[in-house]
Amino acid sequence: DALLIEGNGGPQGQDQGQADVGWWGWLFGDGGPSSGTGGHSDLTDTAKWDERSSSHHITEEEEVKKEQQSHEGASDADPSKFCFRRAPAPSEGAQPVERKGQVTDETTFGSALRNLASRDDVRRILEIGTWYGGGSTDSFVRGLRDKQKSNCDVLENMQCCESFVITFEIDTPAWDHARRYHRNNPVWFVHGTTVGVEDMLTNDQIPLEERGEHYDLYYERDRELMEKESPQLAKYCAAVRPDVVLIDGNEYTGWGEFNVAVKRCRPRYVALHDTGTLKTRRVEEEIRRRPDAFELVEAGTDAVGWGLYRLNYDETPREGSFRVIVLTSTKYESLQHLLESLNQARYGNTYRPLHLEIHIDHDDSSDHTRTVDAAESFDFDHGTKSIRRYASAQGRRTMWFKAWNPTFDDERAVVLEDALQLSPVWYEWLERAWDVYGDRPDLGAISLCRQRLRATDGAVVTREAQTPFLHRVPGSHGFSPSAGAWREFVSWIRNVGMDDLKDADVDVEGTVTTQWHRDGLDTWEQYWVWWCWGSGILSGSRSLYNLYIHPPDSYALVRYETDSVTQLVQPSSYEAELSSFPKQLVRFGWNYESEGKSDGTSWW
CATH code, domain carrying 324: 3.90.550.10
Please indicate, yes or no, whether residues 304 and 343 belong to a single structural domain of this protein.
no
Q: Which of 267, 288, 311 is the last residue of a domain?
A: 311
Task: Work out the average pLDDT over 143-149.
Answer: 94
Q: What is the pLDDT of residue 33?
A: 40
CATH number of 259's domain: 3.40.50.150
Instruction: Please give the residue range of the domain that contains residue 249.
Output: 103-311
Domains identified in the chain, total number: 2
Q: What is the pLDDT of residue 59?
A: 55
Q: Which helix (H) or strand (E) holds 463?
A: strand 459-471
Q: Which of 283, 311, 339 is the last residue of a domain?
A: 311
Write out pLDDT tens, residues 27-84. Answer: 434 444 433 322 222 222 222 223 322 334 445 555 544 555 778 999 988 888 999 9
Confirm whether 250 is domain-assigned. yes
CB 402 within 8 A of CB 474: no
Q: What is the pTM of this model?
A: 0.73
Please indicate, yes or no, whether residues 470 and 350 belong to a single structural domain of this protein.
yes
Task: Work out the average pLDDT over 271-283.
Answer: 95
Confirm whether 539 is domain-assigned. yes
Question: Whole-angstrom Cα distance, residue 136 to residue 113?
Answer: 7
Write out pLDDT tens, residues 519-548. Answer: 888 789 999 999 999 865 444 468 999 999
**pLDDT at 560 > cutoff 90:** yes
Confirm whether 69 is domain-assigned. no
Confirm whether 382 is domain-assigned. yes
Confirm whether 62 is domain-assigned. no
Please indicate, yes or no, whether residues 507 and 384 belong to a single structural domain of this protein.
yes
Q: Which of 264, 296, 311 is the last residue of a domain?
A: 311
**pLDDT at 2 > cutoff 70:** no
Q: What is the pLDDT of residue 237?
A: 92
Q: What is the pLDDT of residue 164?
A: 98
Confirm whether 498 is domain-assigned. yes
Please indicate, yes or no, whether residues 320 and 306 belong to a single structural domain of this protein.
no
Pick from 561, 569, 79, 557: nearest CA to 337: 561
Pick from 315, 494, 477, 328: nearest CA to 405: 494
Please indicate, yes or no, whether residues 330 and 303 belong to a single structural domain of this protein.
no
**pLDDT at 490 > cutoff 90:** yes
Confirm whether 98 is domain-assigned. no
Q: What is the pLDDT of residue 60?
A: 53
Pick from 442, 431, 334: nearest CA to 382: 431
Please indicate, yes or no, whether residues 305 and 319 belong to a single structural domain of this protein.
no
Given pLDDT bands bounded at 50, 70 and 90, which one contains residue 156?
confident
Confirm whether 234 is domain-assigned. yes
Longest Cα–Cα distance in the chain: 96
Which distant-in-sequence residues (6+ apart) come within 8 Å of 444 by Cβ? 474, 481, 482, 485, 528, 532, 542, 544, 545, 546
- Residue 303 Cα to chain centre, angstroms: 39
Crossing angle, helix 108-117 and helix 136-147, to 10 degrees?
40
Region of poorest pLDDT, from 238-247, 267-276, 385-394, 502-511: 502-511
| DSSP assignment string, 354-367 | EEEEEEE---SSHH
CA-CA distances (angstroms) from residue 528 to 58, 323, 481, 523, 535?
A: 47, 20, 10, 9, 10
Q: Please tell me what DSSP assigns to residue 603.
A: B
Count of CB atoms situated within 10 Å of the CB of 317:
18
Q: What is the pLDDT of residue 151?
A: 94
